[in-house]
Amino acid sequence: MLLIRLAETFYRHPFLVLGPLVFSVVLSGFLILLEPRQYEAVAVLKAARTTLEDSQTRQSPSDVIADLMLADLGTRSFPLTVAEKSGLLAADLPQPGIYGVIERIVPHAPDSQSEHEEHAIKAIHAAIKVDAIGPDTIHVTVVTTDPSLAAGIANAMMHQFVETEVGTRRLKAQNKVALFKDMVNQQETALTIAEKNLRDYVAANPGQRTAEDTTLRRLQREMDLAKSSIERTLPLLNEAQLRSAEIDRPDQSGFTVIDEATVPYRPMGRLKTIGLGLGAGAVLGLVISALVLFVFTVADSSVRREEELERLLGAKPAGVVPAVKATPRVVSRNGLARLWPLSRGR
């Protein structure tokens, strides 16, 4: 019964029910057309296996670097630096979506510095996509409304990442060198003390033999231990110094920029956006239309069918008179009622 009433309501008010659907689709199409065209720029970075930490050998360099890039983007300072270097911070890039459209229609008050930075970070998050392509290649894709900015952001992102990553590793290597240097220094001090103790003891006890004197044996063992410690640590220090020196060499960072992003010369195709936008509009419109249909049906408490009247009053109607359309019959004051179309007498 509800189905019939819903269908009747629909056919009774087709424009009212379909209106929201049409309106929603048209509005979404209009908003899509108001959206500025988007430009896509791609920068390609290659990461060598040497860029991996010892614990990351089971993963591909591209996966690790892509994760690191995304982690860096999650911070505040990294996207802000990218925004600054790319010129995004200085640019007045319109916000994407409906907010951007509203902003163009009703300009709002200028942002404070922190708000401006927040917008820039959001724009960076919205614009950048990082993909691991193959085992060692990473694509940094940037989509914005400004072609120069798109290329600028992609390149700034890539270089900033390499710079940050190399800087971090340099710091780690330097810390390692400093640590080993400290260790060597301590071990040399310990050796010096051990040698002095041994010399002092031998000078104080000239007649003692090693085999019989346990103190002498202990002092000699301490000196040997100190020497061996230094011998073990020195290669590590040398290796750390070597690694540190390698990192400082520009061609030894492990990162290679395969393709710098170039300024795109034509905007992206809109077919997908239009399809998605119209689809979303249609879905929203359908929901609203269904709601309107339901509300109209529920709100209409009138009796429409014989069965409904019978159920309402508990009595079967004596008759049903359908809504008539004009096939008029002339009722004459003087004569019999006859079938008489209106047009016939004219």
Partner 1 sequence: MAVKPVAKVSVLVGTDQDGANPNVAAAMLDACRAPSLAVGGPQMRELGVTSSIYGEGRTSIALALAVLQSQDYGRTAVLVEMSVEAPALAQRLHLAPAPGLCEWAYDEVSLDQVMQPLQEGVSVVVAGNPGQTPARAISESLRRGLIGQLGKRFDSVIIDLPPVSGIPWGAALASEFANLLFVVRSGVTPASTVRKAYAAIPTPPKVLLNSTSSSLPGWLRRLIG
Cβ closest to partner 1, residue 14 vs residue 167: 14
Cβ closest to partner 1, residue 17 vs residue 247: 17
Cβ closest to partner 1, residue 239 vs residue 308: 308
Query: Are the beta carbons of 117 and 50 closer than 8 angstroms?
Result: no
Min dist CB 20 to partner 1, Å, is 19
| Site membership for partner 1, residue 298 (CB under 8 A) | no
Q: How many chain residues touch partner 1 (CB under 8 A)?
A: 44
Choices 51-59, 116-124, 187-195, 305-313; region in contact with partner 1 by CB under 8 A = 305-313
User: Which positions from 82 through 111 interact with partner 1, judged by CB under 8 A?
Assistant: none
| Site membership for partner 1, residue 345 (CB under 8 A) | yes
Q: What angle do the packed helices 2-12 and 271-299 form, to 10 degrees?
A: 110
Closest CA to 137 of 250, 256, 40, 41: 256
| Site membership for partner 1, residue 330 (CB under 8 A) | yes
Amino acid sitting at position 17:
V
Tokens describing residue 271: 């077919």
Cβ closest to partner 1, residue 18 vs residue 31: 18
| Site membership for partner 1, residue 199 (CB under 8 A) | no
Cα separations in angstroms, 14 against 20, 22, 88, 175: 11, 11, 49, 76
Write phi, then psi, for 74 (nearest 5 degrees).
Answer: -75, -15
Cα separations in angstroms, 343 against 2, 229, 270: 43, 124, 59
| Site membership for partner 1, residue 302 (CB under 8 A) | yes
Beta partners for residue 144, in sequence order: 39
Tokens describing residue 163: 């710079």
Tokens describing residue 22: 């049409």
| Site membership for partner 1, residue 306 (CB under 8 A) | yes
Min dist CB 296 to partner 1, Å, is 12
- Burial class from Cβ neighbours inside 10 Å (0-12, 13-18, 19+) for residue 226 reads buried
Min dist CB 287 to partner 1, Å, is 23
CA angle 156, 161, 163 (to 5 degrees): 95
Choices 152-160, 255-263, 280-288, 307-315; region in contact with partner 1 by CB under 8 A = 307-315
| Site membership for partner 1, residue 8 (CB under 8 A) | yes
Cβ closest to partner 1, residue 232 vs residue 304: 304
| Site membership for partner 1, residue 133 (CB under 8 A) | no
Min dist CB 1 to partner 1, Å, is 10
| Site membership for partner 1, residue 326 (CB under 8 A) | yes
| Site membership for partner 1, residue 315 (CB under 8 A) | yes
Cβ closest to partner 1, residue 30 vs residue 340: 340
User: Which positions from 11 through 70 interact with partner 1, judged by CB under 8 A?
Assistant: 11-12
Residue for token digits 């290329």? Answer: 151
Min dist CB 120 to partner 1, Å, is 56
- Long-range contacts for 224-228 (Cβ within 8 Å, ≥24 apart)? 225/194, 226/187, 226/190, 226/191, 226/194, 227/191
Min dist CB 297 to partner 1, Å, is 12
Task: State the Cα–Cα distance between residues 13 and 288, nearest whole angstrom.
Answer: 14
Query: Are the beta carbons of 259 and 43 closer than 8 angstroms?
Result: yes
List residues binding partner 1 (CB under 8 A).
3-4, 7-8, 11-12, 300-306, 308-309, 312-313, 315, 317-337, 339-340, 342, 345-346
